[in-house]
Amino acid sequence: MAYKVIRTFADAEDDGRVYKKGQEYPHKDLKPKPTADRIKQLASADNNSGAACIEKIQTKSEALEELAADSKK
């Protein structure tokens, strides 16, 4: 799953790597991949910056599934 950086931050769990607004998170070479808890932390205000730093990028297939579900309502 991919995320977009919405607020520039230095990732303490990625050797202080700076992710700038607009970049994708995590970078493709990050090993191990961030845990679900880490993603949740960065996507909320429950982190050192006190504000969400990333948001989920909706894929085309996810968007289509959402539209299909909405049309069935």
Q: What is the pLDDT of residues 2-36, one digit of tens each?
A: 899 999 999 999 999 999 999 999 998 889 999 99
Contact (Cβ atoms closer than 8 angstroms) between residue 49 and residue 12 = no
**Selected residue with higher pLDDT from 46 and 59:** 46
Categorize the per-residue pLDDT at 73 as very low, low, confident or very high, splitting at 50, 70 and 90: confident
Mean pLDDT, residues 33-60: 94
Q: Give the residue carrying structure tokens 């993603």.
A: 39
CA–CA gap between residue 6 and residue 56 (Å, rounded): 10
What is the number of alpha carbons within 13 Å of residue 21 lying toward its C-beta? 4
At 3 the pLDDT is: 95
- Domain ranges in the chain are 3-70
At 10 the pLDDT is: 95
Q: What is the pTM of this model?
A: 0.79
